[in-house]
A and B are shown apart, each in its own frame.
Chain A
Amino acid sequence: MKALMFGWEFPPHILGGLGTASYGLTKGMWENGDMDITFVIPKPWGDEPKDFARIIGANSTPVAWRDVNWDYVEGRIGNVMDPQLYYNLRDHIYGDFNYMSTNDLGCIEFSGRYPENLLEEINNYSIVAGVIARTVDCDIIHSHDWLTYPAGIHAKQVTGKPLVIHVHATDFDRSRGNVNPTVFSIEKDGMNNADHIITVSNLTRRTVIEKYGISPDKVTTVHNAVEPLNEELLNLEAPPGKTSKVITFLGRITMQKGPEYFVEAAAQVLKKVNDAQFVMAGSGDMMDKMIRLAAKRDIADRFHFTGFLKGKQVYEMLAASDVYIMPSVSEPFGISPLEAMQMGVPSIISKQSGCAEILDNVIKIDYWDTNAMADAIYSIIKYPAMFKELRDQGLAEVNQITWDKAGAKVINIYRNLINR
């Protein structure tokens, strides 16, 4: 089965959970066998894994005809794609886009991030999708998150193949209810045009049904999973000088993640416990406010901010942690507690996060219930059996949550659509 996927991020260059999930799912589907996947991203770097999916960069797909020779193409974009594919794509340019700012290869530049002119990039991405859809043969189209819905719709119109959209988050999660009307309309348009909608949790599924008015029989939940960690990361150890217990919040410091509840819980615990340190790792628009809040609660000496962590740093932080906490106000899935569990760190998560639906060996609390949060933290750092049970059972549990199972579910959805 041939699938054409549109995504925005792909490891190793990722900005959030979207890239990790896209990668895991693609690989999981490939492990089920008989899948030929083409994965489109705005801006590949060339070091993406290519063994289970063909990566096409939107920024190396021509939308305007340029007469360039093989060697030139090879030299410019040879590291990200086969020059032959460039010529194939060039043969399928379907309109005159010379009025747009294109480069020497007739391609549109993409930042591949979330820039100020995001809406413009989304639009450009959809233009490029038209070229790709005309070139690459496929049985099904799969769009990851709202940024790529317009591209998916365009590809569907060009090819007539069924469109699956994958809702990794909705604007209701990101904004605590104050949705941006433009984003909402893009999301709603995608959902209306989709033949089937995959959500990452039942929580998101309900949002899609209730807030976007989509028929429930069109929406299926496929929970995310985690990639097994490699030996190097698993063997990371806590720094030798560590004497006190470390409780870690790891993620963007934004309204959606509920950082202020973490600070309040920390203040409670520190009233009773001296040998504990709280870490807020990450960055975001609420960081300064959190620093002020910690100071106001008079716990700044035991409450640390690390700034944005990436790659291995994340795992080093986890290796040094005794408790991981994710008090998200609204989390479509939330993959990071699973990563913490993989590192043997007991996790506390909010009941308002999607991963709470599939995890048993974690502590689940309401995000606003700072008392319960403090109780749970205290219990884990004070009672060794609690720590051990959560660590061991959590590890056993998370090792069962694998992408190939999620991949099989998605393939099943594809089959039903194609055979309809």
Chain B
Amino acid sequence: MKAICFYFQIHQPFRLKHYRFFDIGNDHYYYDDFADDDIITRIAQRSYLPANQMLLDMIKENGKKFKVAFSISGTALEQLEQYVPEFIDSMKELAETGCVEFLSETYAHSLSSLYDPDEFVAQVKAHDQKIFQLFGQRPKVFRNTELIYDDDIASMVYAMGFKAAITADAKHVLGWRSPNFLYSSASAPKLKLLLKNGKLSDDIAFRFSNHEWASYPLTADKYIHWIAELPQEEQLVNLFMNYDTLGELQPRESGIFEFMRALPRFAAEHDIQFWTPSEVVAKFKPVANLAVPYPMSWTDAARDTSAWLGNTLQQEAVRKLYSIGERVRLCTDRRIKQDWNYLQGSDHFFYMSTKHNDDGSVHSHYSPYDSPYTAFTNYMNVLSDFMTRVEEQYPASIDNEELNSLLLTIRNQEQEIEKLHREVEMMRNNIVKDTTGDFPVDEEPEPEPAPAEEKQPAPKKKPAVKKAPAKKPAAKKAPAKKAEKPAAKKSAPAKKAVAKKTPAKKK
């Protein structure tokens, strides 16, 4: 018995428009909506939608024995919601079959796992929330941006409660070992690892329609045969690829859809099953620990992070971006939050690669710029503007500690005022109820004296302001507040939820 684990990545970045240095400080809208619309609509029509239909048919035909996994970045979801809403519906339909697993990742398809742990955690949560909202699933398996993975990331992922992660099969890490087993992380041994089978995945993703390839044409029969012939003990074949392999990279005319449709039939003949990553984790035992001291990925020949961080341009841009991470997380401005997400997309750095040869042609194929230097210039201009906006909110002259405490004070006071207001309201109602009009209500609006006498909230306020640094005072306050009136607590999360629901709509 063997198992195939299919996983597809869907991601689209928010591309930047041509942003000149004159625009810095004047124009705060950064995106090339036309290009985004154009590209995602084209890919959806040629690939995502027909591929979804194909998967749906396959699941129905095979009595739910055919299963796949998806990772869809938050930015891609936003674009799809906006430009191709029918895709979301079709995905929901797929989700309802129960044969589709959604994986967790960073919302913005970002490199935060390498630079900013706090941001990383926040983004993973935001992404999982979005998946839950749309498809009703809480992801249990994690996959990082472009399968970037190392031991540090493993620890963070495990700490967030994931039971498995998906990553690449870099030669310099695996060595003689086969990717066709379940592994576990060296730094967090309870975190299982699924490794991409590079050869078999790329046979479909890159070589399928290549006439010069010795194995052309690739048929489902032949392909399943290869898998069946793998050594007995190698039971797991992880086929990870971009979703647009189906229909875009390998066009419809190449017969890719027919190939996929035929897979389950031949697989059944050889007792090969299709499992989701969660099933794999539940049914297999890891064979060994895998130590990955330096980050690896599934991109470029080097299979490391050099596609995004290979030269000084890229390093500088990423460093500059994450240097304001803490500040941005203090902000509450919705547009700043949104831009922050979009600017983190790893694609922006991918475009700045100065690699040549085969890798270089891949980079320039996806890049909307004519050279890495233009990509850098444009990005830095946008980033300069973004940083000025953050700066305007919170000047750099105030250090983070101080700012934190000031913000905390303001927030506490806000809560305090709200609380007092409520009490006034309550008391007013009480008075009205109790005395039925004996007292004149008009003189009540002065909040201070009345509540202070009755419930003494004032002393609670003072310690909160004094113990400013860190979030402790807030935590201390929380239980007290809970006891007093849960109504106030409810209103705050409700507001947050509203903010999250409408991030993509602006202009």
Contact = CB atoms under 8 A, between A and B. Distances in A.
Interface stretch (A6-14, A303-311, A369-377): A369-377
A383 B316 contact: yes
B315 A385 contact: yes
A272 B21 contact: yes
Interface string A363-400: 11000000100111011001111101110110000000
A393 B316 contact: no
B317 A363 contact: no
A363 B316 contact: no
B22 A361 contact: no
A271 interface: yes
Contacts, number: 64
Interface in B317-353: 317
Contacts of B384: 382
A376 B373 contact: yes
Nearest to A390: B373
Interface string A249-276: 0000000000000000000110110000
Interface string B293-314: 0000000000000000001110
Given A271-B22, A272-B22, A374-B21, A385 B376 contact: yes
B380 A386 contact: yes
B211 interface: no
B354 interface: yes
Nearest to B377: A379
A360 interface: yes
A385 B22 contact: no
B354 A382 contact: no
Contacts of A271: 22
A307 B373 CA distance: 32
Contacts of A269: 21
B20 interface: yes
A230 to B, nearest CB: 28
Interface in A164-194: none
A271 B371 CA distance: 26
B356 interface: yes
Contacts of B24: 272
Given A389-B313, A393-B354, A383 B373 contact: no
Interface residues on A, range: 20 to 34
Contacts of B370: 364
Instruction: Name A's interface SS.
Output: helix
B316 A384 contact: yes
Interface in A214-270: 268-269
B60 to A, nearest CB: 52
B380 A379 contact: yes
A361 B354 contact: yes
A392 to B, nearest CB: 7
Contacts of B373: 363, 376, 379, 386, 389-390
Given A379-B373, A383-B377, A388 B312 contact: yes
A371 B20 contact: yes
A268 B317 CA distance: 24
A392 B373 CA distance: 14
Contacts of B316: 383-386
B496 to A, nearest CB: 36
A382 B381 CA distance: 10
A363 B312 contact: no
B371 A385 contact: no
B354 A383 contact: no
A378 B23 CA distance: 12
B356 A360 contact: yes
Given A361-B354, A392-B312, A383 B376 contact: yes
A102 to B, nearest CB: 57
Nearest to B376: A386
Contact of A389 (B20, B21, B354, B374): B354
A363 B370 CA distance: 10
A388 B315 CA distance: 12
A266 to B, nearest CB: 14
Nearest to A271: B22
Contacts of B311: 389, 393
A382 B370 CA distance: 21
Interface string B382-408: 001000000000000000000000000
Most chain B beta-carbon contacts within 10 A, residue among A360, A364, A376, A386: A386
B250 to A, nearest CB: 31
B371 A364 contact: yes
Interface of A: 268-269, 271-272, 360-361, 363-364, 371, 374-376, 378-379, 382-386, 388-390, 392-393
Given A378-B381, A385-B313, 7 more contacts: A272-B21, A371-B20, A375-B381, A379-B380, A379-B381, A383-B377, A385-B312
12 contacts: A271-B22, A360-B356, A364-B371, A374-B21, A375-B374, A378-B21, A378-B381, A383-B376, A385-B313, A385-B376, A386-B376, A389-B312
Closest 6 A/B residue pairs (Cβ): A385-B316, A379-B377, A378-B21, A389-B312, A385-B312, A389-B313
